[in-house]
Amino acid sequence: MPSSTDENMPPPPADAPSAATLRPADMVDAGHPAVLAFARDHAVGDDDRARAVALYYAVRDGFRYDPYRIDLSPQGMRASTVLAQGYGWCVTKAALLSAACRSIGIPARLGFADVRNHLSTERMRAVMKTDEFVWHGYSEIWLQGVWRKATPAFNIELCTRFGLLPLEFNGIDDSIYHPFDSRGQRHMEYLREHGSFDDIPLQRLRADFATYYPGWGLSDGGALSRADFDADISGELR
């Protein structure tokens, strides 16, 4: 029988963190030595919120966003690979942020949604045949009893060059893509939510990429991998 103390305790939140949101996973490899070192160096602050915010900016601005070099192998998707390469895309940068949070005892997981990106490059649109990006990834971090969304994809240099409003994160409010850019033009639309995951659902992601983007050729790196994302942005902004 429960004690009277148990009876008077409020029920746990319906979506409280599971044990898996603190453990290393295959691609959210929070136990990797490089991830542990990264978190140790950058998770500064007096509480979990401050440390999570510090990690957010370290991931957002410390690693260049490059959607041209997507490697859908398990190794290519790991958080530790972002550290080794110095760049990533929305899913892998979110994996790094979530892994770093887990490594210092802050529950974290991944969220996914399909979005419409109005500011992709001409080369991306030609290869993808659409402006719809499936399985856009972001982090969900458990802070002060609530899951907070944090999107560390676009580094500050990219935002400045592309006319985007930088995504800020304070650990209190969700950090998700702006619907408009700094000039008032359409930027991002959230179309469909896929839910929350303890690790990257790689099989589902790969299957949908093959369906939506048959001309990308991601199995061998793809046509985009032989181009320069930053150069394309600069060329289109002249």
Confidence (pLDDT) at 121: 85
β-strand partners of 113: 136, 193
Domain boundaries, the chain: 24-232
Provide the phi-psi class of 129: left if phi over 0, else alpha when psi is between -120 and 50, else beta. left
Residues of the chain with pLDDT below 50 are: 1-12
Tell if the pTM clears 0.85, that is, is over it: yes
pLDDT of residue 233: 81
Is the separation of the CB atoms in 152 and 97 below 8 Å? Answer: yes
Backbone angles phi, psi at 109, to 5 degrees: -150, -170
Architecture of the domain spanning 24-232: Roll (3.10)
pLDDT recorded at residue 219: 66
pLDDT of residue 178: 79
